[in-house]
Each structure stands twice: as structure tokens, then as C-alpha cells.
């Protein structure tokens, strides 16, 4: 089975950057194969990873009802859609990417979405790690495009509003009864130290960050130069993510041994 890592949080908190740096850590340590899933409607994980996205799941689902009349004789709807979904996969050495995109149109896509979950579940046996970059809400998690989340990284920017968003997301996870094995809060883009107001809010809400990622010019410079974060040299931001991932995966390994 795959080890499923999901990244969620407030818009503008740097979720895609964190997801990309998680993938960078996995590739650097040859923890492959990896499936990256861009579940954000504002899809840009592919650009961050340096992979060219030609087709999205949203576009496929949006045209499904129109195209199904052209299904070749003898082919089931399930088989036809599976072929189309496979066509949305971007493949590279040790790392594949599937982009959800934004669904369009007035029709109900309950049936295609059911097949999408089945398709994603069928992929779990093919990858050692799955890293999902979610949109600001929890819609894709609630749809359970993967059955279980082993590690949910809740990312906040360096603000009181961001911390409050994390608290609401934690409440929503409990309400939806999502199958989440472990949650880890990350405070991203922190300048020199955490502001006292942010520290006060963390204490008030009883939130203990698992990692503090410093504000790092190297990340912004890489983005401006349109360079993949997979190629980002070691810097303060990569070191923070590497340290977190090493700790989380070590804890998981120890927990597995004791079971």
C-alpha cells in the first residue's frame, strides 16, 4: 500500500511549495515511485515540479457526458473513462503527476467521480508515496480520492488568521470523520521568529507546530526564474522540510515495528 501524504491549509499559505518540497525530499532520498496529485482548482503543482500538464481530471469529467455517446462498440463506460483518466497522467522518472483541475458544466458528475475514486484507489499499489496538494477547503479530502490519509500536513502562513484557519480545518476533519492517521501543523514563511500574537493564538487554540519553515528568498527566486523546486539547492526552507519529513517517516517506521 502507498503512504498517503496530504497538504491542506489557508489560501496563500504556501501549500504547493510545501508539497513540492516534500516531493523533493522523497526523490532526494530515492523513496520512489511517487505520485503527486494536484487537487487544487488553481492548479500549479505541475509548474512547481517542472512537469507539463496537458490534461486535467476536471476537464475529462466535464466532457464525460458528451463524449460517452462515442464509446467504441463493446467497450464499457468504466473502461472508456479509465483510458481517459490514464491519459491525464504525466510521467517522469520516479515521479508521476495527476492534476484534478476545475470541473465545469451544469451536469452532475457523481458517477464519474465515483469512478475517479476507484481509479485513484487502484493506483495506490503502484506507488510508494502519494503526495496530494489540496485546495484551500477540504472538498477533495471529503470526496476521499484516496481512502486513507497517513500524514495530513496543515499549513498556515505566519498570521493569526492562518492559525485560526488551521483550527477550523481540524474541526472539519473531525466533523467529516476523515480517516487521517496523523496531523502535523506547519507554520510557513516565518521571518526571523514567530510573532508574539501568533504564539499567543497557537497557545489559545492548543496547537503545537510540528515545523517552522522560515521565509526564504531562495524559494521566491526559484519561482520567479520558473525553476522547478525539485532542483532547489539546500537552503533554510528545504532544511526545515527535510528535517520534518525525516522525523515523520522515522516515527512511522518505529510505529510499524511496534505493531
Weakest-pLDDT range from 4-8, 10-14, 137-141, 166-170? 137-141
pTM value is: 0.89
| Most confident option among 75-79, 134-138, 236-240 | 236-240
**pLDDT computed for residue 12 by the predictor:** 87
Q: What are the pLDDT digits (tens) for 17-32? A: 999 999 999 999 999 9
* Residue 241 pLDDT greater than 90, yes or no: yes
* Residue 72 pLDDT greater than 70, yes or no: yes
Rg, Å, the chain Cα set: 19
Report residue 144: phi and psi, to 5°: 55, 55
Q: In whole angstroms, give the CA distance from residue 134 to residue 40.
A: 5
At 222, is the secondary structure helix, strand, or coil? helix
**pLDDT computed for residue 55 by the predictor:** 87
Share of the chain above pLDDT 90, in %: 54
User: Which has the higher per-residue pLDDT, 17 or 118?
Assistant: 17
Check if the beta carbon of residue 154 is closer than 8 Å to that of residue 170.
yes
- H/E stretch holding 211: strand 211-214
Share of the chain above pLDDT 70, in %: 85
Contacts of 232 (CB under 8 A, 6+ apart): 21, 24, 218, 219, 222, 238
Q: What are the pLDDT digits (tens) for 188-234? A: 999 989 999 999 999 999 999 999 999 999 999 998 999 999 999 99
Strand order in the sheet with 95-99: 90-92, 95-99, 34-39, 129-134, 3-9, 151-156, 183-190, 211-214
3-state secondary structure 72-121: CCCCCHHHHHHHHHHCCCEEECCEEEEECCCCCCCCCCHHHHHHHHHHHH
Domain ranges of the chain: 3-258
**pLDDT computed for residue 146 by the predictor:** 45
User: Which has the higher per-residue pLDDT, 27 or 106?
Assistant: 27
**pLDDT computed for residue 205 by the predictor:** 97
* Residue 138 pLDDT greater than 60, yes or no: no
The three cell numbers locating residue 158: 505566519
**Superfamily of the domain at 3-258:** P-loop containing nucleotide triphosphate hydrolases (3.40.50.300)
Contacts of 163 (CB under 8 A, 6+ apart): 156, 187, 198, 201, 202, 205, 207
**pLDDT computed for residue 147 by the predictor:** 53
User: Which has the higher per-residue pLDDT, 66 or 74?
Assistant: 74
User: Which has the higher per-residue pLDDT, 82 or 51?
Assistant: 51
Side-chain-side CA neighbours of 156 within 13 Å: the count stands at 28
Q: In whole angstroms, give the CA distance from residue 116 to residue 134.
A: 16
**pLDDT computed for residue 183 by the predictor:** 95
**pLDDT computed for residue 120 by the predictor:** 73
**pLDDT computed for residue 115 by the predictor:** 62
Amino acid at each position: 500500500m502507498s503512504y498517503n501524504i496530504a497538504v491542506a491549509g489557508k489560501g496563500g499559505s504556501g501549500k504547493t511549495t510545501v508539497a513540492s518540497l516534500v516531493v523533493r525530499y522523497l526523490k532526494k532520498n530515492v523513496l520512489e515511485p511517487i505520485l503527486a496529485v494536484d487537487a487544487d482548482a488553481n492548479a500549479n503543482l505541475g509548474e512547481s515540479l517542472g512537469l507539463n500538464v496537458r490534461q486535467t481530471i476536471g476537464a475529462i469529467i466535464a466532457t464525460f457526458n458528451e463524449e460517452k455517446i462515442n464509446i467504441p462498440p463493446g467497450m464499457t463506460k468504466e473502461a472508456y473513462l479509465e483510458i481517459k483518466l490514464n491519459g491525464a497522467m504525466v510521467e517522469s522518472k520516479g515521479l508521476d503527476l495527476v492534476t484534478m483541475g476545475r470541473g465545469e458544466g451544469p451536469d452532475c458528475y457523481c458517477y464519474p467521480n465515483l469512478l475517479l475514486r476507484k481509479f485513484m484507489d487502484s493506483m495506490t499499489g503502484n506507488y510508494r508515496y502519494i503526495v496530494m496538494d489540496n485546495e484551500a477547503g477540504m472538498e477533495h479530502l471529503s470526496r476521499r480520492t484516496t481512502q486513507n490519509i497517513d500524514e495530513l500536513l496543515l499549513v498556515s502562513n505566519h498570521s493569526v488568521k492562518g492559525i485560526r484557519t488551521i483550527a477550523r480545518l481540524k474541526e472539519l476533519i473531525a466533523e467529516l470523520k476523515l480517516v487521517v492517521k496523523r496531523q502535523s501543523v506547519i507554520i510557513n514563511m516565518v521571518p526571523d521568529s514567530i510573532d508574539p500574537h501568533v504564539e499567543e493564538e497557537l497557545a489559545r487554540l492548543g496547537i503545537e507546530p510540528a515545523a517552522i519553515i522560515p521565509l526564504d528568498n531562495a524559494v521566491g527566486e526559484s519561482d520567479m526564474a520558473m525553476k522547478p523546486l525539485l532542483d532547489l539547492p539546500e537552503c533554510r526552507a528545504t532544511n526545515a522540510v527535510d528535517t520534518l519529513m525525516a522525523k515523520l517517516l522515522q516515527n512511522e517506521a518505529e510505529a510499524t515495528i511496534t505493531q
